[in-house]
């Protein structure tokens, strides 16, 4: 297997978590009678939908940063930042579902993890350029 195993594990976890959030949207659809293709109609559905979509927004930034980052700082450090990202998403989702005003802390943790990976890649590129 060519890939870095802890980075792959975090990738799987991030994909699975996003999938779980999408499953919750479907569940909320049925529970509150929001018929597809509508994406509005009940506040609990809308919050679940925004949790899912915000996670996709973050995921599409995170996966490229994670994969590039792991080649700069190594498998375990990159995966460590990935775990921070996962924890941030869990805090975000549980906060947001309780109330839209409680979505801040999880969002900040998510962003810090991605920003750490971003800096790692910047570092790696600078290292390449001056090498």
- Residues at the site binding a copy of itself, with contacts judged by CB under 8 A: 1-3, 5, 8-9, 11-12, 15-16, 18-19, 22, 35-39, 43, 46-47, 49-50, 52, 56-57, 59-61, 63-65, 68, 71-72, 96, 100, 103, 118, 121-122, 124-125, 127-129
Does the N-terminal peptide bond of residue 29 adopt cis geometry, omega within 30 degrees of 0? no
Give the chain's end-to-end CA distance (angstroms, integer). Answer: 29
Residue with Cβ nearer a copy of itself (61 or 87): 61
Minimum Å gap between C-beta 23 and a copy of itself is: 10
Tokens of 126: 């600078």
Minimum Å gap between C-beta 88 and a copy of itself is: 15
Minimum Å gap between C-beta 80 and a copy of itself is: 16
Tell me if 31 sits within 8 A of 62, measured CB to CB.
Answer: no
Residue with Cβ nearer a copy of itself (63 or 90): 63
What is the C-alpha to C-alpha distance for residues 9 and 76, in angstroms, rounded to an integer? 11
Minimum Å gap between C-beta 106 and a copy of itself is: 13
What is the C-alpha to C-alpha distance for residues 122 and 125, in angstroms, rounded to an integer? 5
Residue with Cβ nearer a copy of itself (61 or 84): 61
Q: Which of these, 3, 14, 9, lies nearest to 60 by C-alpha position?
A: 14
């Amino acid at each position: 297997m060519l890939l870095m195993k802890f980075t792959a594990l975090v990738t799987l976890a991030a994909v699975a978590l996003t999938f779980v959030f999408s499953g919750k949207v479907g569940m909320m659809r049925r529970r509150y009678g929001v018929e597809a293709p509508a994406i509005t109609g009940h506040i609990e559905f809308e919050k679940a939908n925004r949790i899912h979509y915000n996670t996709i927004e973050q995921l599409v930034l995170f996966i490229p940063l994670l994969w590039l980052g792991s080649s700069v700082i190594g498998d375990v450090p990159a995966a460590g930042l990935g775990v921070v990202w996962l924890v941030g998403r869990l805090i975000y989702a549980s906060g947001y579902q309780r109330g839209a005003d409680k979505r801040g802390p999880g969002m900040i943790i998510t962003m810090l993890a991605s920003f750490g990976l971003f800096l790692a890649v910047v570092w790696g590129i600078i290292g390449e350029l001056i090498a």
